């Protein structure tokens, strides 16, 4: 094929590449717009319904799975909850942990990592973590509450909020329960960086949570 004949093919290849890059940029832009819109709508709604500690802590948070170190346990599904005991966003977490333990039994190991300078809440059936391990895990968490879940082989399956929206402390019928169901069936989701809009505390909160 001559250089003249090859020119249209080269142009077509460049056009396809540019089109693919443009599509990816549009998708990222659309996701960002939707997240900002959701945040604005939630804030607007609760502005007319009085003060609410959950609304006061409404934030957009980025979770980067690549920053999380290896699982502290191998041999069972492993869930580690990151909690600030004085953050109102962490309410109801105790009940959720107990529900998951009842549902999955010995196939699920659960641990709690508290925010810096906080004591981890005591919940029956949870496994204490080594202080150094807990510190390394906590350093990768951008806000509280959050959860990381690994499969039995140690592969990270999920890292992010317990749930969407204002009720980030309610993990039932949410991201966490969906991930645990898939893992119990032998499926392993792939954890990826994600943005979440919800109730989060990046610093110690002003209202005690109910676990």
Residues 26-47 have pLDDT tens digits of 778 877 777 787 667 666 555 5
Cα(152)–Cα(75) distance, integer angstroms? 5
From 194, 165, 146, 157, select the one nearest 31 (Cα to Cα): 194
Cα(191)–Cα(200) distance, integer angstroms? 20
CB-based contacts of 35, cutoff 8 Å, min separation 6? 60, 195, 197
Cα(82)–Cα(135) distance, integer angstroms? 11
| 18 or 159, greater pLDDT | 159
Residues 199-211 have pLDDT tens digits of 888 754 434 444 4
Contact, 58 vs 197, CB < 8 A?
yes
Residues 153-181 have pLDDT tens digits of 889 999 988 876 655 555 555 778 889 99
Cα(55)–Cα(52) distance, integer angstroms? 5
Alpha helices in the chain (DSSP H): 3-47, 53-56, 93-104, 131-139, 175-184
Highest mean pLDDT among 17-26, 37-46, 82-91, 147-156: 147-156
* Cα-Cα-Cα-Cα dihedral sign, residues 34, 194, 83, 182: positive
The SS3 of residue 55 is helix
Cα(151)–Cα(188) distance, integer angstroms? 7
How many CB atoms neighbour CB 179 within 10 A? 23
The token pair that represents 211 in the structure block: 């676990």
């Amino acid at each position: 094929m001559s250089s003249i004949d090859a020119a249209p093919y080269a142009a077509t290849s460049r056009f396809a590449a540019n089109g693919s890059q443009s599509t990816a940029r549009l998708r990222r832009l659309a996701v960002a717009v939707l997240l900002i819109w959701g945040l604005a709508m939630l804030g607007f709604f609760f502005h007319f319904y009085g003060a609410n500690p959950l609304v006061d802590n409404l934030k957009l948070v980025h979770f980067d799975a690549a920053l999380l170190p290896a699982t502290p346990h191998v041999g069972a599904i492993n869930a580690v909850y990151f909690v600030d005991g004085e953050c109102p966003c962490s309410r109801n977490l105790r009940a959720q942990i107990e529900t998951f333990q009842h549902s999955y039994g010995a196939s699920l190991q659960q641990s709690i990592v508290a925010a810096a300078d906080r004591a981890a809440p005591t919940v029956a059936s949870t496994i204490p973590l080594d202080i150094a391990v807990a510190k390394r895990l906590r350093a990768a968490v951008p806000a509280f509450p959050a959860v990381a879940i690994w499969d039995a082989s140690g592969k990270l399956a999920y890292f992010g909020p317990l749930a969407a929206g204002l009720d980030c402390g309610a993990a039932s019928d949410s991201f966490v329960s969906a991930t645990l169901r898939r893992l119990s069936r032998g499926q392993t989701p792939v954890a990826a960086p994600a943005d979440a809009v919800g109730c989060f505390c990046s610093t110690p909160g002003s209202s005690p949570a109910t676990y």
